[in-house]
């Protein structure tokens, strides 16, 4: 395998550097801690605010999930994919910048704006993933997809470090902590925008469907045919169901990790440092997953990642101290990027490239509907039991079901079931 990158491959991978800054600052690190401070000032119990955060994530992803197969199908027409990508990208960038209008005690406004940022981020991600087939060859997808996640982890550390320094030492730029936190949101939006430019400039929609009259109507017709194909081909269908379950757990760990850490008593300073270390550690592991997939197959590495996550959520129930949370974070770093990257490339290799938008629309709807269940489950269990530990532990069932289905998928492969292409 040649490791030298083409301009298109590098441009595609660099977008992960930009949107990973959003993930670190808005989904995992700075905003959840900021939200917790807002709810604390409003005298909202920790387990209740954790539930509110989970509900916001669930409803935002539900909105995108409903839209994704429709807009994905329409985007397969010539020159449409990039337009949809840019539209949702702008929503995410503007909403992230608007987080600066939140002041002390305005926790509900924070949730509303966060809701909009999730729509922009997740919507743009549909078309970013779909551009994988335009950016590289089929045999290089595992490597390029893993490289994207790897670069994203290490590249997003730059704005994260800057933001941590500013928030911890706001006086160096003449601001208070609230002002420095707001500046961090601006830095995140600018970084995300800057690393989106190479993709917008250098990647064109290579595979597409030629325009036709009544494109929306015909898109729905093609959508129905695609859905029929997905049910007809066991390989694609079983993978999507498996993905539905295990990626639910992965996304839930990502979106709920900071509020969980806060609930068990980890200080905000330690949380920021731990998540920075997680980003750095995740870089080599994401690359390693791509290399090992070449030797053992993407399927084998996805299964390995699921098993690691079963260990992670089981161990999380017993975490009480900062050093134990460090161990938990490093376990997450070992598999988080790899399992996401190889899921994306595995799916990309079994679908027709000219229909990548609509197929990744279904890929997204399975992923996003899954992301609704996990946070909702954590929220409900946290409220019912009065402890976030039971909420986190409850998602182990999602990984177990995903593992069983992936093993079933291997039996289908051995039976020589033909892929959809």
Q: How far apart are CA 287 and CA 283, in angstroms?
A: 7
Residue with token string 């809701």:
115
Q: Cα separation of 315 and 327, whole Å?
A: 9
Look up the pTM and report it: 0.74
Best CA proximity match to 132, nearest among 79, 64, 199, 211: 199
The domain over range 7-209+234-414 is classified in CATH as 1.20.1250.20: yes
Dist. CA 35–CA 29, nearest whole Å:
10
Q: Which tokens in the block code for residue 374?
A: 């996990």
What span, in angstroms and rounded, lies between the C-alpha atoms of 223 and 375? 29
pLDDT at residue 367, rounded to an integer:
67
Q: What's the pLDDT at 74?
A: 72
The pLDDT profile of the chain, 421 residues, written as one tens digit per residue, is 556 788 999 999 999 999 989 988 887 778 888 888 888 888 888 778 877 877 787 777 778 777 777 776 776 777 788 888 999 999 999 999 999 999 888 889 999 999 899 889 988 988 898 888 888 887 888 888 888 888 888 888 889 889 888 988 888 888 888 899 999 999 999 999 999 999 999 998 886 666 666 666 666 666 676 666 666 667 778 888 899 889 888 877 776 677 677 777 788 778 878 877 887 888 888 889 888 988 888 889 999 999 999 998 888 888 888 888 898 888 888 888 889 889 988 888 877 666 666 677 677 767 666 566 777 777 777 777 776 677 777 788 889 999 999 998 876 655 444 444 3
Question: What residues pair up with 209 in beta bridges, in sequence order?
Answer: 77
Distance CA(79)–CA(134), nearest Å, equals 12
Residue 289 has a CB neighbour count (10 Å cut-off) of 30
- 334 vs 313: CA distance, rounded Å: 14
Q: Are 371 and 249 in contact (CB under 8 A)?
A: no
**What is the pLDDT, as a whole number, of residue 223?**
64
């Amino acid at each position: 395998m040649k490791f030298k990158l083409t301009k298109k491959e590098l441009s595609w991978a660099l977008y992960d550097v930009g949107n990973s800054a959003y993930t670190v600052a808005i989904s995992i690190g700075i905003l959840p801690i900021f939200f917790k401070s807002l709810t604390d000032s409003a005298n909202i119990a920790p387990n209740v605010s954790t539930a509110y955060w989970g509900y916001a994530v669930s409803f935002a992803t539900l909105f995108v999930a409903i839209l994704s197969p429709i807009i994905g199908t329409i985007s397969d027409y010539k020159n449409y994919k990039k337009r949809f990508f840019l539209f949702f990208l702008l929503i995410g960038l503007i909403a992230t910048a608007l987080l600066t209008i939140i002041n002390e005690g305005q926790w509900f406004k924070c949730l509303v704006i966060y809701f909009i940022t999730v729509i922009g981020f997740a919507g743009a991600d549909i078309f970013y993933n779909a551009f994988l087939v335009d950016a590289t060859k089929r045999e290089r997808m595992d490597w390029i997809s893993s490289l994207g996640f790897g670069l994203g982890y290490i590249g997003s550390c730059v704005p994260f470090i800057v933001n941590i320094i500013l928030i911890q030492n706001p006086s160096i730029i003449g601001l208070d902590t609230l002002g420095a936190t707001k500046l961090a949101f601006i830095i995140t939006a600018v970084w995300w925008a800057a690393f989106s430019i190479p993709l917008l400039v250098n990647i064109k929609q290579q595979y597409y469907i030629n325009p036709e009259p009544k494109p929306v109507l015909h898109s729905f017709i093609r959508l129905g045919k695609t859905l029929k194909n997905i049910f007809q081909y066991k390989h694609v269908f079983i993978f999507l169901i498996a993905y539905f379950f295990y990626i639910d757990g992965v996304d839930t760990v990502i979106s709920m990790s900071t509020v969980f850490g806060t609930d068990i008593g980890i200080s905000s300073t330690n949380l920021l440092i731990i998540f920075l270390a997680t980003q750095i550690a995740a870089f080599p592991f994401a690359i390693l997953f791509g290399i090992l997939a070449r030797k053992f197959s993407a399927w084998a590495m996805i299964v390995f990642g699921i098993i690691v996550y079963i260990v992670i959520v089981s161990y999380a129930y017993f975490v009480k101290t900062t050093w134990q949370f460090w161990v938990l974070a490093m376990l997450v770093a070992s598999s988080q990027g790899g399992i996401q990257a190889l899921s994306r490339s595995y799916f990309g290799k079994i679908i027709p490239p000219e229909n990548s938008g609509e197929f990744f629309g279904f890929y997204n709807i399975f992923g996003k509907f899954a992301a609704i269940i996990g946070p909702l489950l954590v929220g409900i269990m946290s409220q019912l039991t009065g402890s976030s530990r039971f909420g986190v532990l409850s998602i182990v069932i999602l990984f177990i079901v995903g593992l069983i289905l992936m093993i079933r998928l291997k039996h289908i492969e051995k039976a020589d079931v033909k892929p959809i292409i």
